[in-house]
């Protein structure tokens, strides 16, 4: 079993347990559920922002512990101040050391869109994402059917959430597009074997239909890479480790933004 299959199998167990504790009705009654959301598209196209979706990431399957010392509040406030267009907060515990409370904490101190970075396998998680304070959900084409992507994106839209579809190759892109998606993300990391290659974003840029904004995800550590990605049409850049590996991710991001 590859790592993505393992994560998805574990996620299905977690969702079954969560449903037994909190029903969808409970989630819909929670304080966070009935709030206005921030649209990712508006922030990605705002020229006063950097285009960066900055990630709070303590640990990853490919790198192990990256940074488990800093609070989600201080890191995400630093990212917002450095001009992030959006924040990404991992809520997966077993593989990334994230938690739902990280998202709640980030929501309380930031006024830009927040992506619930997790592995969505059930509609329950989308309703939960809204209740926790997220504005964006991630749908990973490699672990969902086109029918699931359509119904999850439709549900997200009905809740006022933006959907980021993540693809890794042309085949995933071709089978997964639908009009309810807001942004297409190309992941430079192969989630099955962890190899990274910016060429993945460069080569897929021209086949992403122009009605979708495009973001490039993972393994970005050099301002020159952003310049190259902008040239081929990318509007956004999801960056985690490059900032999180420092003792002051907000400052690392501010310094990086000066160079792009």
Ligand X SMILES: O=C(O)c1ccccc1NCC(=O)[C@H](O)[C@H](O)COP(=O)(O)O
**Residue 72 binds to ligand X (criterion: CB under 6 A):** no
DSSP 199-247: HHHHHHGGGS-TTSEEEEES----HHHHHHHHHTT--EEEE-HHHHTSS
Residue 238 Cβ vs ligand X, minimum distance, rounded to whole Å? 5
Site string for ligand X, 156-195 (x = CB under 6 A): -------------------------------x-x-x--x-
Q: Give the nearer residue to ligand X in terms of CB position, either 154 or 189.
A: 189
User: Pick the catalytic residue: 11, 49, 50, 55?
Assistant: 55
Cα distances from 72 to residues 4, 55, 233, in angstroms, run: 25, 10, 31
The Cα 36–Cα 181 span in angstroms is 19
Q: How many residues sit in the footprint of ligand X (CB under 6 A)?
A: 19
Please state the separation of Cα 175 from the chain's center in Å. Answer: 21
Catalytic residue among 11, 49, 57, 130: 57
* CB neighbour class for 237 (10 Å; exposed up to 12, middle 13-18, buried from 19): buried
Using rule CB under 6 A, residue 240 touches ligand X: yes
- Contact range with ligand X by CB under 6 A, out of 76-84, 126-134, 144-152, 233-241: 233-241
User: Pairing state of beta strands 59-60 and 64-65?
Assistant: antiparallel
Interface residue with ligand X among 239, 252, 253, 257 (CB under 6 A) is 239
Instruction: Clarify whether 166 is annotated catalytic.
Output: yes
Q: Does 218 bind ligand X (CB under 6 A)?
A: yes
Catalytic residue among 188, 218, 241, 242: 218
- Give whole-number Cα distances, 226 to 150, 205, 223, 260, in Å: 30, 13, 5, 7
Out of 219, 226, 252, 257, point to the residue binding ligand X (CB under 6 A). Answer: 219
Q: Which residues contact ligand X by CB under 6 A?
A: 3, 55, 57, 60-62, 187, 189, 191, 194, 217-220, 238-242
Catalytic (active-site) positions = 55, 57, 117, 166, 187, 217-218
């Amino acid at each position: 079993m590859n790592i993505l299959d393992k994560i998805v199998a574990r996620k299905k167990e977690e969702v079954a347990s969560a449903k037994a504790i909190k029903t969808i009705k409970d989630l819909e009654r929670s304080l966070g559920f009935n709030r206005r959301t921030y649209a990712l598209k508006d922030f990605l196209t705002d020229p006063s922002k950097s285009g960066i979706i900055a990630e709070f990431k303590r640990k990853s399957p490919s790198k192990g512990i990256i940074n488990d010392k800093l609070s989600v509040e201080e890191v995400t406030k630093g990212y917002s101040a450095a001009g992030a267009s959006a924040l990404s907060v991992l809520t997966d515990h077993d593989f990334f050391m994230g938690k739902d409370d990280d998202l709640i904490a980030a929501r309380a101190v930031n006024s830009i869109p927040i992506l619930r970075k997790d592995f969505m396998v059930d509609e329950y998680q989308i309703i939960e994402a809204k209740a926790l304070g997220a504005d964006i959900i991630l749908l990973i084409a490699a672990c969902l059917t086109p029918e699931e992507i359509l119904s999850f994106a439709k549900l997200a839209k009905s809740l006022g959430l933006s959907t980021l579809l993540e693809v890794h190759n042309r085949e995933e892109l071709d089978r997964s597009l639908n009009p309810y998606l807001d942004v297409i993300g190309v992941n430079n990391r192969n989630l099955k074997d962890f190899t990274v290659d910016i060429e993945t974003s460069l080569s897929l840029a021209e086949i992403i239909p122009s009605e979708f904004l495009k973001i490039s995800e993972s393994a970005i550590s050099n301002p020159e890479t952003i310049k190259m990605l902008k040239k081929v049409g990318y509007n956004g850049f999801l960056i985690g480790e490059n900032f999180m590996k420092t003792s002051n991710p907000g400052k690392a991001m501010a310094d990086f933004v000066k160079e792009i």
